[in-house]
Chain A
Amino acid sequence: MRSLRLAAVLLAVFTGSLALALAQGDSRHSGYQDMGPALRKMQDDDTANPAMLFVQSGEALWSQKAGAAGKSCADCHQHATVSMKGVAARYPAVAGETGEPVDLEGRINLCRTNHQQAPALATESDELLGLSAYVALQSRGQPIAPPNDVQLAALRAKGAEIFRQRQGQLNLSCANCHDDNPGKKLAGATIPQGHPTGYPIYRLEWQALGSLKRRLRNCVVGTRAEAWPFDAAEYLALESYLMERARGMAMDAPGVRP
C-alpha cells in the first residue's frame, strides 16, 4: 500500500512537471526527428521502409487460424485497421484476464494462449514482431495515451526509478544520456531523447525488426551492465515509464532508426 501511495505521489509530481513542460512549449521529439533526411525518407515511404516487409507477415498472421480453438485474431477483432486503431498507443496496460500489466507483445501472447489456445510466440520471433508491428501500424499518428490505473502508476514509478539508476561499468543511468544529454553525440551517433514512438523498429544496426525490449537491452549493454533476462519485470516497468514520459506524442511505428 505504501509503495502504491508513493507511486501515486511520484506520478502526480511527474504529471505536474509534464504539464509544466507542455505549458512551456513541448521540447520533446521522436528519434525520427534526430535522423537525417535520407533515413526519414526511408521510414516515410511504405515501399522503402523495410519494416513493412515484417508488417506484411503480421497482416497474414492476423487472419490465420491458430491453436486448439482454431481461431484467428480476425475472428475476434475483425479488421485490425478499425479495431486496433490507437491500441498500441495505450500499452502497457492491465490485462482483463489476469489483472496484471502487460505490454503489447504480452497482450498478443495472452490472446494466443487464452483465446486461441496456441503456444505463446517466442520473444523477438518474426511472428510476434510481425503481429506487433501490424498492430502498432494502426496507431500511426495517434497520440501515446497510457491508461490511468493505479497498478500502472506503481509500475511507472518503478520504471522512473530504474531510469535514473546508474548501472554498469560505465556507471550510467538512462537519464544521464536521454534526459541530460540528448542531441549530443555518443561515439558518432546522436543521442535521442528516448521516446518509444516507433516500436517495433527496423534498426539498421540489427538489419531487422526488433522490440523496445531489445532496444533497452542494447542500452543496458551499452552501459556495460549485464542485461536483464528477456522476461524480467524491469522491462515492463521501463516501458510503462517511457510511454508515460512520451504521453501525447504521436506514434510513428514501425519506425526506422540507425
Chain B
Amino acid sequence: MANVLVNAPRTAKKGQVVEIKALIMHVMETGYRPGTNGRIIPRNIIQDFTATWNGREIFRMRMSPAIAANPFVSFSAVASESGIIAFRWSGDAGFVAEHQVAITVT
C-alpha cells in the first residue's frame, strides 16, 4: 500500500477542535502531460478522500488533477468520543489506501 503519514493527536478533551493532517504517496498524474515518447501519460489521480470518526463521516474531499503530487490535506474535527479515526483514499486504476489512528477523548 502507498506510504501514508497521518498527524492527529492521540488524546484530546471532549469538545476540543483538533487538527488532522494526512499525507500520502501518489504521483497525481494529471493526464495532460506528454511522456518522453511524446504521448500523453494517462491520468492517474486520487479522486476521493474520506475521514470517518468511529464510522461516522467527518470529512470528504473530491480531488482533481490540480491537486499536487503526494497529496496533503489538513482539516479540523471536534473531539467527540474515544475511538478510531479512519482515512480512505481511492482513485484511478483501482487505487485504494486506508489508514487508521486511535484517539482517546477525555
What residues of chain A have their CB less than 8 Å away from a CB belonging to chain B? 45-48, 50, 52-54, 56-57, 207-208
- Residues of chain B within 8 A of A50, CB atoms compared: 23, 25, 69-70, 72
Name A56's contact: one of B3, B27, B72 (CB within 8 Å).
Answer: B3
Interface residues on chain B, size class: 10 to 19
- Residues of chain B within 8 A of A57, CB atoms compared: 3
Pull 30 A–B residue pairs with CB atoms less than 8 Å apart, ordered by A.
A45-B21, A46-B5, A47-B5, A47-B6, A47-B7, A47-B21, A47-B23, A48-B21, A48-B23, A48-B72, A48-B74, A50-B23, A50-B25, A50-B69, A50-B70, A52-B5, A52-B23, A53-B3, A53-B24, A53-B25, A53-B70, A54-B3, A54-B25, A56-B5, A57-B3, A207-B27, A207-B28, A207-B68, A207-B70, A208-B69
Q: Whose C-beta in chain B lies nearest to the C-beta of A130?
A: B3
CA–CA, A56 and B21, complex, Å: 16
CA–CA, A57 and B5, complex, Å: 12
| The 3 A-B residue pairs with the shortest CB-CB distance in the complex, in nearest-first order | A47-B7, A207-B69, A50-B70
- Residues of chain B within 8 A of A46, CB atoms compared: 5
CA–CA, A250 and B6, complex, Å: 28
CA–CA, A53 and B69, complex, Å: 12
Q: Whose C-beta in chain A lies nearest to the C-beta of B28?
A: A207
- Residues of chain A within 8 A of B70, CB atoms compared: 50, 53, 207
CA–CA, A45 and B72, complex, Å: 12
Tell me the smallest distance from the CB of A47 to a CB of chain B, in Å. 4
CA–CA, A56 and B25, complex, Å: 10
* Given A48-B21, A50-B72; 19 other pairs, CB 8 A cutoff: A45-B21, A46-B5, A47-B21, A47-B23, A48-B72, A48-B74, A50-B23, A50-B69, A52-B5, A52-B23, A53-B3, A53-B23, A54-B3, A54-B25, A57-B3, A207-B27, A207-B28, A207-B68, A207-B70
- Residues of chain A within 8 A of B28, CB atoms compared: 207
CB–CB A53/B5 < 8 A: yes
- Residues of chain B within 8 A of A52, CB atoms compared: 5, 23
From A54, A57, A207, name the one whose CB has the most chain B CB atoms within 10 angstroms.
A207
Tell me the smallest distance from the CB of A201 to a CB of chain B, in Å. 14
Contact with A along B1-20 (1 / 0, CB 8 A): 00101110000000000000
Tell me the smallest distance from the CB of B8 to a CB of chain A, in Å. 9
CA–CA, A208 and B24, complex, Å: 13
CA–CA, A56 and B68, complex, Å: 20
Tell me the smallest distance from the CB of B7 to a CB of chain A, in Å. 4
Contact with A along B41-61 (1 / 0, CB 8 A): 000000000000000000000
- Residues of chain A within 8 A of B24, CB atoms compared: 53
CA–CA, A148 and B104, complex, Å: 52
- Residues of chain A within 8 A of B5, CB atoms compared: 46-47, 52-53, 56
- Residues of chain A within 8 A of B74, CB atoms compared: 48
- Residues of chain A within 8 A of B6, CB atoms compared: 47
- Residues of chain B within 8 A of A53, CB atoms compared: 3, 5, 23-25, 70
Tell me the smallest distance from the CB of A208 to a CB of chain B, in Å. 7
From B5, B21, B27, B28, name the one whose CB has the most chain A CB atoms within 10 angstroms.
B5
Contact with A along B62-98 (1 / 0, CB 8 A): 0000001110101000000000000000000000000
Tell me the smallest distance from the CB of A178 to a CB of chain B, in Å. 27
- Residues of chain B within 8 A of A56, CB atoms compared: 3, 5
